[in-house]
Amino acid sequence: MALIEDNTGNWRVGVLFSQTGVTSGIERTQLNATLLAIEEINAAGGVLGRPIEPVMYDPASDPKKFRSFAERLFQVDRIRLLFACYMSSTRKAVLPVVEAHRGLLFYPTLYEGFEYSRHCIYTGAAPNQNSLQLAKFLLSAYGNRFLFVGSNYIYPYESNRVMGDFVSQGKGKVLDELYIPLYPEAKDFERVVARIKKTSPDVIFSTVVGSGTATLYRDYRAAGFDPTRMPIASLTTSEAEVAEMGAEAAEGHITAAPFFETLSSPAARRFVASFKEKYGADAPVTAGAEASYFQLHLAMRAVAKCGTDDPEQVLVNLRDSEFDAPQGRVRIDPENNHTYLWPRIARLDRNGRFQTVWNPGVRVKPDPYCVVQSLDDWSVDDLQLLHP
């Protein structure tokens, strides 16, 4: 019976992004982009004539809820492909469920690396696709005395370890490493501001995620610090966090990501225009949204090719497949299920818009198990042209 229903009904896919909770700002952009891609495919006649039907829940930025909704999706809703997760803690909660049901998770978020599951496709950046480029840029443009500020969970610790390694390669110094709770209070930011004042670093490397990001940037501005001399640099501060903090707090700070809303390529313009048309001119379009968008297209193209959403067959079809994503042509690496991406660095202007300051113009192979990366592997020559 199930087989007949499968062949006539909709393609049901699982979608888990938080619409409430601490990281809902960014996750909503990922949800929006996933739904946009589904709408595009359905408008064009679906996959092999059958429409895609997203089955969604709100896991509220809570790993436990992520896990129980994932179980429900596989056991009750009978989905086989799942598009989900922002924080690593939620991915770690969902992945065992995906593996137990022999499903396939598509994870559209940068993360700290050191993971491989054949039941997961990673479409966000691994550290060798963003941290290395960011370090190179910061060391050459601002100096080598760093202060680290992060949320208290796995991603900030590992990102700081990686960044600390680059700083010492640049003969620099990590002045201090501060961690604030995932749900921070005012006093946590007071401590950070006091530490910035005391140490006066060249760069503040922030791995603060979620709604605390806006407070950090606002408090920084209120304390009267100068972002042209001492910027906050981040891998996670995206258009979504900027929308929360406002342009004034955002100006002058730096982010590394494979996609920014302001990219000028035709593919990027098309994607951003459709996104804004559906969700409004002020709806932020983030790198996480872009990954969510292209991974959905990539997945469903594979489903169309093999005529089934059986994860084993989809996986075989995805291997080595190329796709013209808004950021440029991407490709799933068959060795590690991560994605070849295009690193870029941007600075926020006075309107709170990311302006690219370094675009190496190279697609980088993912290397999720890279313990030590060498700064020397990257030339910063083309940076001089773009840096004012």
Partner 1 sequence: MAIQILRDLRGLRVHVVHPPDSERTSLVEHLRRIGCMVETLWPVPECWSEGADIVLLAIEHDVRAEIQRLLKSDGAHRPTLIAVVSYEDPSTLQLVLEAGAVAVIERPIRPFGVLTNITIARSLWIERREAEKKMRKLERKLSGIQRIQKAKSILMDGQGLNEADAYESIRRQAMAKRLSMDDMAAAIIHANELLQYRPKDD
Q: Which residues bind partner 1 (CB under 8 A)?
A: 114-118, 335-336, 368-372
Rounded to a whole number of angstroms, the minimum distance from the CB of residue 367 to partner 1 is: 8
Q: Report the alpha-carbon distance of residue 112 to residue 92 in Å, rounded.
A: 12
Minimum CB–partner distance for residue 180 and partner 1 (Å): 25
Least spacing, CB of residue 298 vs partner 1, in Å: 21
Minimum CB distance to partner 1 smaller for 161 or for 173: 161
Contact between 136 and 142 (Cβ < 8 Å): no
Cβ closer to partner 1: 27 or 115? Answer: 115
CB of 233 to partner 1, least distance (A): 23
Task: Give the Cα separation of 126 and 340 in Å (integer).
Answer: 10
Q: Which two tokens stand for residue 302?
A: 């594979």
CB closer to partner 1, 157 vs 183 = 157
Residue nearer to partner 1 on the CB measure, 190 or 320: 320
Three-point CA angle 321, 324, 326, nearest 5°:
135
Return the number of the residue (281 or 372) whose C-beta is nearest partner 1: 372
User: SS3 sequence, 28-59?
Assistant: HHHHHHHHHHHHHHHHCCCECCECEEEEEECC
Q: Cα-Cα-Cα-Cα dihedral of 367, 369, 374, 376, to 10°?
A: -10
Closest separation in Å from C-beta 30 to partner 1: 25
Strands (E), the chain: 11-16, 52-57, 81-84, 104-107, 120-122, 145-151, 173-180, 203-207, 232-234, 254-257, 322-325, 328-332, 339-340, 344-348, 354-358
Nearest Cα residue to 289 out of 306, 268, 307, 310: 268
Q: How far is the CB of 114 from partner 1 (least distance, A)?
A: 7
- The number of beta carbons lying within 10 Å of the beta carbon of residue 82 is 28
Q: Which is nearer to partner 1, 92 or 363 (CB)?
A: 92
Kindly tell me which of 228 and 374 has the beta carbon lying closer to partner 1.
374
Q: Smallest distance, Å, CB 332 to partner 1?
A: 14
Distance CA 331, CA 222 (A): 43
Q: How far apart are CA 299 and CA 37, in angstroms?
A: 11
Give how far Cα 78 sits from Cα of 11, 54, 129, 190, 299, Å. Answer: 11, 12, 35, 48, 17
Residue 159: CB minimum distance to partner 1, A: 16
339-365 burial code (b ≥16 CB/10 A, e <16): bbbbbbbbbbeeebbbeebbbbeebbb
- Cβ 336 to partner 1, closest distance in Å? 5
